[in-house]
Amino acid sequence: MRRLVSVAVVMMCAGGAASSLLAQEKTPPAVTRDSDRDGVPDVRDRCLNTPVGARVDATGCSAPAQPSAPQAGPTPAAPTAAGPVVATQAQPSRRIIPAPPAAVVAPAPSGQPPGGADPNAGRPAAPPQAVPPAVATPRPVTPGVTVPAVNAAAAPSGRAAPRRSAAPAVTAGFFMPPFTGRGEAERLDYLRSMTVRLDSALRGLVAVFAGTAGSAVPAEDPTRLSERVRDRWARCDEHYLDLTSFSDAVRLIKDSLPSNPLVRLAADGLDNALQEMAALRECDNIVSMVNRPQDFNPWGQYYEASTRNFFRDWYTQLRAVHEADRTFARQLNGVLAADRAIPPLTALPSAPPIAGAMVR
């Protein structure tokens, strides 16, 4: 019996030992892995792909190399793919960024004491040195292309320049003074008078060249021009000077026009047409050539260029102004009293009343 009990006790002890051994085989020992071999276990490594041999901090991410000597400025570390570094156990080393260098102050000019003091304080002022006047270099003249505008010095004696506010001594009788009245009624009467007078001025200019050949005979100097040709250019210049007063009158009164949008639109069209009537400036140039031939050399080429420019565009531009004036008159009649309405303005013919003229 004792033998059976002993055998049972031995078997029980042997079974417990075997179970312990089996349990040890089923539970292997924990292994600490370090995939990138940087010395930081993967369980604490936040940067698992650091290069072999790279310097890392406690979190397994690259740490900047400690400089052997202070550097002149900060050198920021390149960001990693894993994002910003967050320390869990050990705080990563920090670099001390030096303060920016102080601004460099430019040295004082030679001979001047520091602090901005004037070295000449207390000394008598030196007399100003005379500056030689600038000598204007004359520009070469290329005749036969475009005649330059004549300045005041080259203007003929007794003639006023354009843009006048008072009646000139030389006029074709159509000068339009600026508006000086008050009130809506006086303003409408002024606009009515301006429209009718502009129609008369344009028709008067057409009459100056009626029956002519539509071109100028070449001449080498003003003595070759007949008295009739001289008179024609002088009358054209008088009309040109008067027409500039209409341009000024429209521009000065546009802001005080009636609130009717059609009247304002027609006034803008008339102003633009007057501004674009540039061919008549040649009449003023030609009169200056006749009165001061010494200012235009070679005279014949200047005269030919001006006459060609005039006859090419004058009537087309004049008709554009007349049509704009007729449009303005029609719109103005919409705000005028019935007994003050402007009579219908007859249109000018499509071609000028001169022999062989063509309108482009």
At 14 the pLDDT is 52
Q: How many CB atoms lie within 10 A of CB 342?
A: 18
Residues 133/214, Cβ–Cβ less than 8 Å: no
Cis amide prior to 79 (ω within 30 degrees) = no
Residue for token pair 């002088």: 234
Residue for token pair 């520091």: 114
Residues 320/348, Cβ–Cβ less than 8 Å: no
Between helices 299-332 and 261-275, what is the axis angle to 10°? 170
- Flag residues of the chain having pLDDT under 50: 5, 7, 17-29, 68-73, 75-117, 119, 128-164, 357-360
Q: How many CB atoms lie within 10 A of CB 64?
A: 15
Residue-range domains of the chain with CATH: 184-340 (1.20.120)
356: left (phi over 0), alpha (psi -120 to 50) or beta: left
At 318 the pLDDT is 96
At 99 the pLDDT is 47
CA nearest neighbour of 319 among 287, 282, 345, 285: 345
Helix (H, G, I), strand (E, B) or coil at 110: coil
Residues 286/128, Cβ–Cβ less than 8 Å: no
- How far is residue 81's CA from residue 26's CA, in Å, rounded to a whole number? 39
Strand partners, 56: 62
* Encoded tokens for 136: 């204007």
- How far is residue 273's CA from residue 260's CA, in Å, rounded to a whole number? 21
Residues near 116 by beta carbon (within 8 Å), at least 6 away in sequence? 108
Q: Is the pTM of this model over 0.85?
A: no
